[in-house]
Copies of this chain bind each other. A is one copy, B any other.
Amino acid sequence: MSQPEFKTINTSDLRHFTESVFKSIGCSEVDAKLAADVLIKADLRGIDSHGVARLSGYIRLFEAGRINPKPNIQVVREKHSVFTMDGDAGLGLVVAPRTMEMVIEKTGQYGSSNAAIGNSNHFGIAAYHAMMALEYGYIGMAMTNASPLVAPTYSKERMLGTNPICYAIPAGEEPAFVVDMASSAAANGKLEIAERKNKPVPFGWLENKEGAPTDNPADLKAGGHLLPLGSDFDHGSHKGYGLGALVDILSGVLSGANYGPWVPPFVAFLPVMPDLPGKGLGHFLGAMDTDGFMDKETFGKRMDHWIRRFKNAQAVDSDKKVIVHGEPEFELYNHRIQSGIPIIDKVCTDLRLLAEKHQLEHPF
């Protein structure tokens, strides 16, 4: 398989450029740094689809009047450890980590905390927000709803986003356990890659607009839909649908955001639906202090024991080791922080155009 051409960019250059873009749309210095950090960490962890490749998408949302670069993020309701935030149409990249800071503070006070966030926008990788809890020895959790692409079991209508769930759990000497997963069978990004290459995808990833199985990735844009994790009823798609629904309810219904088919699209060229039941899209964040359950040292040792046992589970093929969630991303992070971040040519071109439009220096 031919690899796309790419250019490797030094992390601090990429970070500096990304910050300058966010500042150019009116974000404060502090917010621009934070938003850039969320994208750069996605690239460092190898989640390239959610890193700077999305930068121009956020800017187009701003240009469409759907992002407020100077949001007044506010607690709108609160009861001890739980609260709801209004993101004031800010970047999810800013609204979510700001809220997570409060979740962490309240976890220190109460042992656990949860926040529903409404009136927000796309928040990047869920893992960024959940992992903020790790340095306090807390378990972090993050989920978000997203533009509808997934049809429930038995339906052919796009009702849910790929609605990810992330949990980050600290270990002792081992890297933290970090599971960050969409509730759909496949991520949209994988379909887009296959479509560009004109290649079929596995059956079970999507259906066409009539609700029939297909392996043609182009059927998605032609009115089809993604399938929930499990793919079909026989293989448990009602479970994937249930997870996606759970994320939608906690992120959207509970927060005052939009939900289901009303979640505003990430791409600025698609219109927002009429008669919206809420504002923007929603996230749901949480943390728990492990020390409230077990002393930290014992817990760290038990986590290390768990992780080592799973890594050494009997493999089917000796060349495919069993993976513990979070470890591949941890290793890639350590590699890329040294060697730089490979940015594919298509994204370089896109970012160069963005730089020229905003008259910014750039490393592409």
A→B interface (CB under 8 Å) = 77-84, 109-114, 116, 139, 151-157, 159, 167, 169, 177, 179, 181-186, 202, 204-205, 207, 210-211, 229-231, 234-236, 238-240, 242-243, 245-246, 248-250, 252-256, 259-261, 277-278, 288-295, 299, 302-303, 305-306, 309-310, 313-317, 320-325
- 27 pairs from A and B in contact (CB 8 Å cutoff): A77-B293, A80-B110, A81-B292, A82-B111, A82-B292, A84-B293, A110-B111, A152-B323, A154-B320, A154-B321, A155-B314, A156-B314, A156-B316, A157-B313, A179-B243, A179-B246, A181-B243, A204-B234, A236-B240, A243-B243, A245-B325, A249-B303, A252-B306, A254-B290, A255-B294, A261-B309, A277-B302
Contact (Cβ within 8 A) A114 B116 = no
A162 to chain B, nearest CB (A): 11
**Quick one: given A169-B249, A230-B230, A323-B238, are A293 and B254 in contact (CB under 8 Å)?**
yes
Query: How far apart are the CA atoms of A173 and B110 in the complex, in Å?
Result: 33
Closest 10 CB pairs of A and B: A79-B292, A211-B316, A82-B292, A179-B242, A80-B111, A82-B111, A157-B314, A181-B239, A79-B111, A155-B313
**Which residue of B has the minimal Cβ distance to A303?**
B253
When all copies of this chain in the complex are counted, the total is 2
Q: For A186, what are the chain B residues with a Cβ–Cβ distance below 8 Å?
A: 235-236
How many Å from the CB of A79 to the closest CB on chain B? 3
Residues of the B chain whose Cβ atoms lie less than 8 Å from the Cβ of A184: 236
In the assembled complex, the CB of A145 is this many whole angstroms from the nearest CB of chain B, namely 11
A235 partner, pick from B204, B302, B303, B306, beta carbons under 8 A: B204
Nearest to A201 among chain B residues (CB) is: B234
Query: Assuming the A-B contacts A81-B110, A155-B315, are A229 and B239 also in contact, with contact meaning beta carbons closer than 8 angstroms in the complex?
Result: yes
The reply to whether B288 and A114 form a contact with Cβ atoms under 8 Å apart is yes
Task: Determine the chain B residues whose CB is within 8 A of the CB of A317 once the complex forms.
Answer: 154
